Amino acid sequence: MVRPCCTIEIFILLNVDIHYPFPPRSPEKFSTRPPRATEMSLYTLPIRPTYPIITCRVSPATAPTVASPPPPPSLLPPATSATAVPSLTCALQCPHFESCSGCTHEFNLHRPVIVDEASNFFKGLGVSDFTFDSCRLWGWRCRAKLAVRGSSENPLIGLYQEGTHNVVDIPQCKAHHPNINAAVELLRKGVRELNIEPYDEDQGTGDLRYVQMAVTTHNTALPAVERYRNGRVQVALVWNSRNEKSSNSDKLNALANFLWRNGGSRSKLHLIHSVWANFQTSTNNIIFGNRWRHLLGERDFWEHVGGIDISLDPSSFGQANTRAFDNLLRKLHKYVPFGASVADLYAGAGVIGLSLAATKKCRSVKCIEINKESKPSFEKTVDRLPKSIEGSISWHNADTSIDPLSWLVGSDVIVIDPPRKGLDTTLIDALRTISSHKVKPSLKGSSSNIKEEKRPWVLRERERAKEASVQVGRETISEDPQSLPETLIYISCGWESFKEDCKSLLNSKSWQLEKAHGFNFFPGTQSIEVLAVFKRSLKKKKTGKKKKKQG
């Protein structure tokens, strides 16, 4: 290990992670024309990298800033002048940069510019020890949704050009786990050989609209150091038909069989974990339809994060950067006391809540999620939790924007992980005014409160949520229905929305910001994941002595 006296540390990792080398890209500006599909043979992909991976991590901000040591020659494009290439070691060098809409910057992957803005923002709020963790810089993406366009002879599988619906082929994406790139090449080969027609948005014709590739690195049959590079790919084909009985279903089955025959468990590669189909005929921009079908391979998809095994169906939300998410969860665990009562809002398949239930022996965990498709994944994950868990665990298919206070009361810790747009208005209002609420018994189980409610749609929503809930372990009888949460943990993937929500919470005087951490979930972009810990402000009791009345 080389430890220079500067703000960048360089670690050489030999035979731990796989990274397929590609020729250094020229420093000259790329044409905006989408690159042609690279004729990369799937069957000649190397098993191990031909040079070591270099991961850059940020040293403490107090370290002296001096010139960085020269990087290995293979990591930087050849310099054409003294100012042509920045003297930075953490370079993207992707042949598709500036063509697709994925990565937005090419250098300093370990520390995007937005980190300095975040550090200054939190310093202005009294948090001077903001930290930023960076994991893998290349091959980090374990989940990708790609559009399929072009023709059967020349299929384009990739992302849209910025501001357009023109698909850029990205066979050599440096962000993708290498096995996603390999699976894409196998899919491309199948499309050509079987004459599968990619989707035509203008005409609404064609067969294959999108593909979702998800990598599982949880293969306990392999040593831990080999699991990441040998991850297998769950392939979900978004098919342009109403269901599996449509006229083009023969082509779907033929493509699935091709993938499995050449990449499944009996192939030399054993690259493919499973093949699924999703049926979508809508003309809007929504990728997935409501109908799913498992075609081939293993039905259950498992990953290990936050100390537990988690199950994720292709319809469930999953973090793209598995390793960074695991780091975030382990950091989050430090702020939840043992035996706490936790409410996990925007819970998805309940990964965060179940991770806390297992590692912190929580008294109770409530997971609230609006997407009903996440329920099966939650149930499968619960089945693999340690049998020693004695607390109450429940999952509720409900909208947190409806009567949010009823989900907050009775919990010691609230965890919120909203989409990029941030918190719903009703939830932020409930959090802002939480200290002034006169808490009543939960509306979800109180018949007296139901009688007071005048809006029938709210009643229907509550009843539906109750019917859609899942209860594991003992009934929640140890919660104090009069108590209010002391800790709020906010996980954000949208920096701008987080800043607004954070300011709103602090301006209400109900919450104080105690800690903040950043995570590099999307190297090559200006997006960061933020973990912020708030503590509820408690009103100080007046202790002054009463003045005696003068006679």
Structure confidence by residue, pLDDT tens digits, 247-281: 999 999 999 999 999 999 999 889 999 999 999 99
What pLDDT is recorded for position 543?
55
Query: Cβ distance 54 to 68 under 8 Å?
Result: no
pTM for this predicted structure: 0.77
* pLDDT beyond 50 at 300: yes
Check whether 42 has a pLDDT greater than 50.
no
- Residue 539 has what pLDDT? 66
Phi, psi of 305 (to 5 degrees): -140, 150
pLDDT (0 to 100) of residue 283: 87
- Measured from the Cβ of residue 114, the count of other Cβ atoms closer than 10 Å reads 16
Task: Name the pLDDT band for 523 (thresholds 50, 70, 90).
Answer: very high
User: What's the pLDDT score for residue 215?
Assistant: 97
**CB atoms closer than 10 angstroms to residue 101:** 13
Confidence of residue 92 (pLDDT cuts 50, 70, 90): confident
pLDDT, position 438 = 52
Q: What is the amino acid identity at position 273?
A: H
534's tokens: 């708030």
CA–CA gap between residue 68 and residue 66 (Å, rounded)? 6
Q: How confident is the model at residue 544 (pLDDT cuts 50, 70, 90)?
A: low
With CA atoms as reference, report the closest residue to 524 among 139, 107, 181: 107
DSSP secondary structure code for residue 26 in this structure: P
Quick count: other Cβ atoms within 10 Å of Cβ 36?
10
pLDDT range class, residue 93, cuts 50, 70, 90: confident
Q: Are 142 and 175 in contact (CB under 8 A)?
A: no
Q: What pLDDT was estimated at residue 77?
A: 35
Domains delineated in the chain: 143-304 (2.40.50.1070), 321-435+461-536 (3.40.50.150)
Q: Is 417 annotated to bind ligand?
A: yes
Percent of the chain scoring above 70 in pLDDT = 73
**Sign of the Cα pseudo-torsion (237, 242, 243, 246, in order):** negative
pLDDT for 468 beyond 80: no
Q: How many other CB atoms are there within 10 angstroms of residue 224's CB atom?
A: 11
> pLDDT at residue 228 above 70?
yes
DSSP secondary structure letters along 154-204: SEEEEEEPTTS-PEEE-TT-SSB-HHHHHHHHHHHHHHHHHTPPBPBTTTT
Q: How many residues are given for the chain? A: 551
Please determine, for residue 391, whether its predicted confidence score (pLDDT) is greater than 80. yes
Separation of alpha carbons 518 and 499, rounded Å: 13
Burial-class residue 250 by CB neighbours within 10 Å (0-12, 13-18, 19+): exposed
Task: Say what angle helices 178-194 and 249-263 make with each other, to 10 degrees.
Answer: 130
The answer to whether 35 touches 6, Cβ cutoff 8 Å, is no
Question: How does residue 549 score in pLDDT terms, banded at 50, 70 and 90?
Answer: low
Lowest-pLDDT range of 117-131, 150-164, 345-359, 428-442? 428-442
pLDDT class of 170 with cuts at 50, 70, 90: very high
Strand partners, 439: none
The pLDDT of residue 470: 65
Q: What is the mean pLDDT of residues 176-203?
A: 97
> Strands 487-492 and 8-13, how do they pair?
unpaired
> Which H helix or E strand runs over 499?
helix 495-507
Residue 349: is its pLDDT beyond 50? yes
Q: Which own/partner contact pairs does 73-76 have at CB distance under 8 Å and 24+ positions apart? A: 74/21, 74/24, 76/24
**Arithmetic mean of pLDDT, 313-319:** 91
Tell me whether residue 56 is one of the annotated catalytic residues: no
Angle at 321 between CA 267 and CA 112, to 5 degrees: 135
What percent of the residues of the chain are helix, what percent strand, and what percent coil, each to the nearest 5?
Answer: 25, 25, 55
> In 223-363, which ranges are E strands?
232-239, 272-279, 291-297, 302-305, 308-311, 341-345
Give the pLDDT band (50/70/90) at residue 302: very high
Q: What pLDDT is stored for residue 481 in this prediction?
A: 58
490 annotated ligand binder: no
pLDDT (mean) for 476-500:
84
Task: Quote the pLDDT of residue 61.
Answer: 40
203 is in an annotated binding site: no
pLDDT over 70 at 54, yes or no:
no
| Contact (Cβ atoms closer than 8 angstroms) between residue 105 and residue 111 | no
Phi-psi label, residue 96: left if phi above 0, alpha if psi -120 to 50, beta otherwise: alpha
The C-alpha atoms of residue 378 and residue 375 are separated, in whole angstroms, by: 5
Q: Is the pLDDT of residue 423 over 90?
A: yes
For residues 497-515, average pLDDT? 97
Per-residue pLDDT, averaged over 39-53, amounts to: 34
Q: What would the mean pLDDT of 477-493 be, rounded to a whole number?
A: 81
Residue 280 is labelled as binding a ligand: no
Q: In what order do the strands lie in the sheet with 529-536?
A: 131-133, 511-519, 529-536, 487-492, 413-416, 341-345, 364-369, 392-397, 470-472
Angle, CA of 185, 189 and 191, to the nearest 5°: 115
Mean pLDDT (the chain) is: 80
User: Which pLDDT does position 480 carry in this prediction?
Assistant: 59
Between CA 134 and CA 518 the distance in angstroms is 9
The residue-averaged pLDDT of 503-522 equals 97
- Rounded mean pLDDT, 31-48: 34
- Start-to-end CA distance of the chain, whole Å, equals 82
Share of the chain above pLDDT 90, in %: 62
Q: How far apart are CA 25 and CA 42, in angstroms?
A: 22
Which of 90, 103, 493, 502 does the annotation list as catalytic?
493
Q: Which residues, 6 or more positions from 286, have their beta carbon under 8 angstroms from its beta carbon?
A: 280
Q: What gap in Å lies between CA 210 and CA 169, rounded to an integer? A: 13
